[in-house]
A and B are shown apart, each in its own frame.
Chain A
Amino acid sequence: MASLSHKDLLGIAQLSAGDMQLILDTAAAFKQVADRPIKKVPTLRGKTIINLFFEPSTRTRSSFELAEKRLSADVLNFSASTSSVAKGETLVDTARNLEAMAPDIIVIRHGSSGAPQLLSQVCRSSIVNAGDGMHEHPTQALLDALTVRETKGRIEGLKIAIIGDIAHSRVARSDTMLFHKMGADVWICAPATLVPCDFDRLGARVTGHIEEALAGADVVMMLRVQHERQAEAFVPSTREYYNLYGLTRERVRLAKKDAIVMHPGPMNRGVEIDSDVADAPNSVILSQVTNGVATRMAVLYLLSGNAGLKPGRPSR
């Protein structure tokens, strides 16, 4: 009997390498559900899951919803724009009201770092972080790991280059922690204005030169330049960004011959990644999406017996 001993999934920071291994093994087993004529299993029948999205999201939200439905859970979608939040209700009050409807799991995406943590302290339900501010996006990191493990057969010892807007990216934080914990050699590459000062503490090597990050890499993970989070200009122009940090066909050649190209989406073609690189055979961007559903099924399945456990210690 293997089990996740956490009530919530707030971030990669709380997970041990063993926890992650368990989630990935479970996700791999869930993949076959999508290949069957009846893409549904009765496992979470009678469980209620609330999707609480305070930020726009298509991919993550539909991925969670599909995962929940394939597990036969009852799903309630709740977005901030159509809720009492628009009328001034606080996050904790919203959560308490939802909690009164006795859900088993609440999936939350919020623009503020730490919002899922706050909920986990006031809710009996299990909380799953679907992205909080610039903090973490654990299910994205786990699906990235599943994709890498599937194509490369392992994670340990690989050189993984994460290139792009690191500062505004919760994916970069979660990915860096995950791949570091699983024994990969993680490189972070971005203009100095887009690298937070603490990334070397998460176990990554930091460089400003894309050539150095790409040299001999097994995995190239491109991140979006997040225009909506850039009130002030961190790069002079998208043209200059593309010239210095865009993934072109020529630059891909610096990586290993069998390197894979990843992107959590949504992509800005012609800014951080060229179209012909994004659509090349070694691009696994769409496998990431497929694996997202299986990964989220695994997380929901493993947490589904854990509502009511004591919430964990706050993560950094």
Chain B
Amino acid sequence: MTKKSGKREKTIMDSAGIDLALARIAAEIIEKLGPSDEFAIIGIRRRGVHLASRLAAKLEAILKRPILRGILDITLYRDDLTTIGDRPMLRETSIDFDINNRSLVLVDDVLYTGRTARSALDGLVDLGRPRRVQLAVLVDRGRRELPIRADYVGKHVQTEDDEFVEVRLMEEDGEERVIVTRR
């Protein structure tokens, strides 16, 4: 593991691990919000969208009713637009239901500095006034730079700043696992 040759890579979750984590998060959401809460699941582009749709499918199977789903692109709300030269690719936000007074569960792949979650909250506030917003992530890797925490976490890992946590999903990457790499 401490081999110096090339890129060090460690798998911390496999396909079954990811699925199990999502199943547990789904159960926790119902437990926390109550089965009658008409909450919506909002995926943060890009990988949060796939995780959100899997989560919604699990929730639908348990609750036997359709779950509202939305997609949030946080590009316009990033706090680093003035410091980076290249403009990040803007994609569409698609939330075609009223979020006012509704419970929302934001879904992202990795929680790290907390800046994405902050941008997402700003983005949501411009769309209305939700009743409550919760955050679900597959991996919490610590090292927060803002006072933000997740309500549902698939897996906690201790990481260093020079490490990357990559969630690789079938829909985007053609494989299914979570890896930690070092530069």
Chain A residues engaging chain B, CB cutoff 8 angstroms: 1-4, 22, 25-26, 28-30, 32-33, 36-38, 40-43, 46-47, 298, 301-302, 304-306
Contacts and interface: CB of A to CB of B under 8 A. Distances in A.
B127 A305 contact: no
Given A29-B73, A41-B76, A2 B81 contact: no
A2 B92 contact: no
Contact of B90 (A42, A301, A305): A301
A1 B126 contact: no
B77 interface: yes
B86 A29 contact: no
B89 interface: yes
Nearest to A301: B87
A26 B90 contact: yes
B11 interface: no
A interface majority secondary structure = loop
Contact of A1 (B73, B89, B93): B89
Lowest 5 A-B CB distances belong to which pairs? Answer: A3-B86, A41-B76, A38-B126, A2-B89, A43-B76
Given A26-B90, A41-B76, A298-B90, 10 more contacts: A2-B87, A4-B87, A22-B89, A29-B92, A33-B76, A36-B127, A37-B128, A42-B76, A43-B75, A47-B82
Nearest to B83: A305
Interface in B158-172: none
Interface string B22-58: 0000000000000000000000000000000000000
A2 B86 CA distance: 7
Interface in B83-115: 84-94
A37 B90 contact: no
A305 B93 contact: no
Nearest to A42: B77
Contacts of A304: 81, 87
Nearest to A305: B85
Interface residues of B, number: 21
Contact of A40 (B84, B86, B87, B126): B126
A40 B55 CA distance: 31
A32 B88 contact: no
A25 B92 CA distance: 9
Contacts of B86: 1-3, 305
Given A1-B88, A29-B73, A41 B126 contact: yes
A4 B88 CA distance: 10
7 contacts: A3-B85, A3-B87, A25-B89, A25-B90, A32-B94, A302-B87, A304-B87
Contacts of A30: 90
B9 interface: no
Nearest to A5: B86
Given A36-B126, A41-B76, A46 B82 contact: yes
B127 A29 contact: no
B14 interface: no
A62 to B, nearest CB: 22
B122 interface: yes
Given A42-B77, A305-B84, A305-B85, A29 B90 contact: yes
A234 to B, nearest CB: 43
Nearest to B85: A305
B92 A28 contact: yes
Nearest to B91: A29
Interface in B58-76: 73, 75-76
Contacts of A33: 76
A298 B89 CA distance: 11
Contacts of B81: 43, 304-305
A298 B91 CA distance: 11
Contacts of A47: 82
A301 B81 CA distance: 10
A72 to B, nearest CB: 9
A159 B120 CA distance: 43
A180 B8 CA distance: 49
A115 B63 CA distance: 64
Max chain A C-beta neighbours (<10 A), residue from B81, B93, B127: B81
Nearest to B127: A36
